[in-house]
Structure 1
Amino acid sequence: MRTAVALCVWLLGSEVLPGSGQDDMAARGAWRTAAPAPTKRTEVTASALGGKIYLIGGFAEPGVGNLTSLAITDAVEVYDPASNRWTTASPLPNKVHHAASTAIAGKLYVVGGFVQSFLSVWKPIANLYIYDPGAGVWSEGPPMPTPRGALAATELDGKLYAIGGYDGNGNTGAVEVYDPSTNQWAVKAPLPTPRDHLAAVAVKNRLYAVGGRLNRDYGRNLAAAEVYDPAVNRWARIKELPTPRSGITAAAMFDAIYVLGGEAPEGTFATNEAYFPDSDRWQPMAPMPTARHGLGSAVVDGRLYVLAGGPRPGGSFSNVNEVFIPPSNAAQARRATPQLVGAIMALLAIFDDAGVLPSESSPEANRLTKALIQFQSAFINSVDAEVRRWFTEAIEAKFGPHSSDAIARFRINGWTSESLEAVVDYAAVHSVWDRDGLEQGFRAFNVGKTDWELLTRVFRSARERLAADGRDLHQTYAARRREMPGS
């Protein structure tokens, strides 16, 4: 126990995200690459629901199979950040592009967009499609009062706000609100600057509409930024978007709004600019690795996933999936929280109880502590596919239908004796270290196979010694965890 207490101060100051550029990451955020979507698309919409991300509609790459639909797609692909895997959901009831979406109370809502009409792809619709993930089926709600595409939508106070867009003749400033509890639409104060290809985000009971273009012309991009207060049904101007652009996506994290991508005649944007409502200021953030427009985005567990979109202006396609770690999250992640520290201290304590903890300050003790810290950090923070695959499969094997909850708890609280046991036992029967790219994924966290072997050996020895003394590993851990920080 003395060893664990002595390590407490050291652990609280430990860096948990390795690598260069940490100060820049804390100020501007950082990007990682995740598993690409199954199909290449553009002019999509995306929303998070139940810890997963739904990538919906748009244009697919033209081919023989979709010529009759002019490449408009009804595809719905679902990304699970916990496993870094994609699956396919039931397709939309209609092939649609430039739609908008949001999630409310466990259901997904897709509204508006454009559909095919003879040889044109620009017929605006007012349709509202509702997806129930439990049943895996789509239903149709009452249509919007105003048909339109290239609109923006967001959830605010349990209602869907549909904002702006193009109605077939020109821009509309329509702001129409759907209330799922009454199954009705209501008309609200119009957007002061009617436009299309804009983005909308809700923060602290306010709605923000940013960017966009006039009459579908990306040569007429706007810097307009406006805020809506539902309490008084009134819009007001805020500081303009620093880089006028359209075909953008936006999302809110930690009370900041991130506006990404877009297109102009000169090319596509990798631009990522953050707006801070409390101070009415914009700040440049780390740009996307892949510039694109017509993209979708969604936030899961404090990370912003930016998906698909065209890498060139106009008709171009991608299946890119890039992950933004925002500054507030990155800065917090740099240092261990009390919960993460307490988890490691409790493990060290039970190793000490079992008599298998290496001598204090010995090279092996330092390596063991480092392994506990850095493998915990890797399994929480890494977006490397093989790192995430190992952890997710191990947790699923041990916890079964409760694995999602176990993963969510681990991301906040770090190791438990059961989660460590899960990855140790899984690695014992699966050749995880033979998987291509795994060692490289852990190299970013300054640990490798030999560190894992040491941690495995100590953990197994502790389990065996405690069992021989008639003590249960997990009960012993639980008792020790209650004594540690962040319990």
Structure 2
Amino acid sequence: MATPTKPFPLRLAVPLALALLLALAFVADFLVSPTTTPAVATYSKTVTNISPGLQGVERRRKKGNNAKRVEILNATYADLPAPRWDWEEMPAAPVPRLDGASVQIGDLLYVAAGYESLDHVHSHVDVYNFTSNTWTERFDMPKEMSNSHLGMVSDGRYIYAVAGQFGPQCRPAVNCNFVLDTETREWGELPPLPVPRYAPATQIWQGRLHVMGGGKEDRHEPGLEHWSLAVKDGRALETEWRSEIPIPRGGPHRACVVANDKLFVIGGQEGDFMPKPGSPIFKCARRHEVVYGDVYMLDNGAKWRQLSPMPKPDSHIEFAWVVVNNSIIIVGGTTEKHPLTKKMILVGEVFLFDLETSKWSVIGRMPFRIKTVLAGYFNGWLYFTSGQRDRGPDNPTPKKVVAQLGDDTLAGLDGDLGVKQCQRAEGTVTLNND
């Protein structure tokens, strides 16, 4: 005779039902979820094919011995995959220099102003000769001219120096403008800007000196205003600046380039260090900055057009660019702060913007990460000098200001608040004009 079956205990029914529901929910979630997770949050989508291996960073909040995940942080601060270039170190600059300015005329690179330290700024111009690969000359700037964060551009003979910051630390911006005749080494004055500007985007386009964006007098608040002044042979043809169409996004430390008769403004940031309230020496105090990779183009003077953004947000690149063939090449800079430490992160990639396709690519890597470099291109070689470099391969935060000069056939840099090194690079990318 069969043993009678015992009834299923009611006390187990509820737990088993809950377990079954959880199992069904897990299977359903697995079936509808993608098989792979995006490497980085939003930003990785803008750099597809450039940074497929970029990893997000998990921020965790500790509670007792348990770590609870709060969010996946955007990893735009991380290095992007890039080919290694062989850089050649050139003669070091006479002085370390940070936040200086430069223009190239023929085989000469004119390097002006800049910090040697927060308490010491330069008031002279050094000249590097690409043909002889030597620093050949030094001459003084006007005493009233800005010592850092100025706009600078050349028409092939005359160098126009616009606004910037006069003095050390974080003094307010000024509106004074000057012009240098590079053949006679004589300085002249231009009409002042309507208001002071800190690190404005500056270029000569269609016979007019254009100045736009930058920071306002306090260095921190972004400016959107855009002015122009007719100039010829080192002279202003007008007594006042003309208002132009404002730039869509303001702020300092941007590359401003004229190519194919179009005006480009690339990268930059909103916000910067400000003078500490009540400080008699205008001691620098950090505020919140937002670094971006926006690219804007003006081709008819009537409307700004937004183009594809840079592969990563990039700032401190106002003189870190060259135009080669039908491309704009940008080296180094700073990107978004580290999401956990909040420290400034330097950039070590070399970016190329194709003017025909309006697309970006990462074409090389610098010998180290560095910001505010002064770049030039001559006879197949890409050069850069000055700036502030990283603390080492595994630490992208700022360390030394350098005076090195480097080149790579397409080039690097090292020094203390400012870098004195000069380096160059060749052969990694075809850049010859023939």
The interval holding the TM-score normalised by the smaller chain is 0.5 to 0.7
Q: Is the 8 A contact 2:98 2:388 kept in 1?
A: yes
Q: Structure 1 residue 163: deviation in Å?
A: 2.4
Gap change, CA 1:266 and 1:147, over 3 Å in 2: closer
Q: Say if 2:164 is the partner of 1:113.
A: yes
**Aligned position for 1:40:** 96
**Aligned position for 2:61:** none
Task: Identify the structure with the greater helix proportion.
Answer: 1
Q: Is the 8 A contact 1:306 1:321 kept in 2?
A: yes
Q: Is the 8 A contact 1:260 1:271 kept in 2?
A: yes
**Aligned position for 2:237:** 183
**Aligned position for 1:354:** none
**Aligned position for 1:273:** 351
Q: Is the 8 A contact 2:92 2:403 kept in 1?
A: yes
Aligned counterpart in structure 1 of residue 373 of structure 2, from 282, 287, 295: 295
Cα shift readout 1:143-166 (whole Å, capped 9, x = no counterpart): 122311122222323432222100
Q: Structure 1 residue 325: deviation in Å?
A: 3.0
- Aligned residues with identical type, % of pairs: 20
C-alpha separation between the residues in 2 aligned to 1:73 and 1:51?
23
Task: Identify the structure with the greater strand proportion.
Answer: 2
Quick one: which amino acid aligns to residue 210 of structure 1? Answer: I
Gap change, CA 1:279 and 1:168, over 3 Å in 2: same
Q: Is the 8 A contact 1:107 1:130 kept in 2?
A: yes
**Aligned position for 1:212:** 268
Quick one: which amino acid aligns to residue 368 of structure 2? Answer: T
Q: Structure 1 residue 316: deviation in Å?
A: 3.8
Task: Indicate the SS of the match to 1:37.
Answer: coil
C-alpha separation between the residues in 2 aligned to 1:273 and 1:111?
27
Q: Is the 8 A contact 1:101 1:108 kept in 2?
A: yes
Gap change, CA 1:127 and 1:315, over 3 Å in 2: farther
Q: Structure 1 residue 50: deviation in Å?
A: 3.9
Where structure 2 has 5 or more consecutive residues not aligned to the other structure, the ranges are 1-82, 273-286, 338-342, 391-396, 411-425
Where structure 1 has 5 or more consecutive residues not aligned to the other structure, the ranges are 1-26, 63-69, 338-487
Q: Say if 2:378 is the partner of 1:309.
A: no
Q: Say if 2:314 is the partner of 1:245.
A: yes
**Aligned position for 1:142:** 191
Q: Say if 2:138 is the partner of 1:89.
A: yes
Question: Is the deviation greater in 323-332 or in 74-83?
Answer: 323-332
Q: Is the 8 A contact 1:163 1:174 kept in 2?
A: yes
Gap change, CA 1:177 and 1:325, over 3 Å in 2: farther
Cα shift readout 1:383-434 (whole Å, capped 9, x = no counterpart): xxxxxxxxxxxxxxxxxxxxxxxxxxxxxxxxxxxxxxxxxxxxxxxxxxxx
- How do 1:251-266 residues align onto structure 2 when only pairs under 5 Å count? 251-263=322-334, 264=337, 265-266=343-344
TM-score by length of 2: 0.63
Quick one: which amino acid aligns to residue 183 of structure 1? Answer: L
- How do 1:375-390 residues align onto structure 2 when only pairs under 5 Å count? none
State which structure, 1 or 2, has the greater radius of gyration over its C-alpha atoms: 2
**Aligned position for 2:60:** none
**CA RMSD of the aligned region, Å?**
2.6
C-alpha separation between the residues in 2 aligned to 1:164 and 1:59?
22
Gap change, CA 1:218 and 1:99, over 3 Å in 2: farther
TM-score by length of 1: 0.57
C-alpha separation between the residues in 2 aligned to 1:318 and 1:205?
34
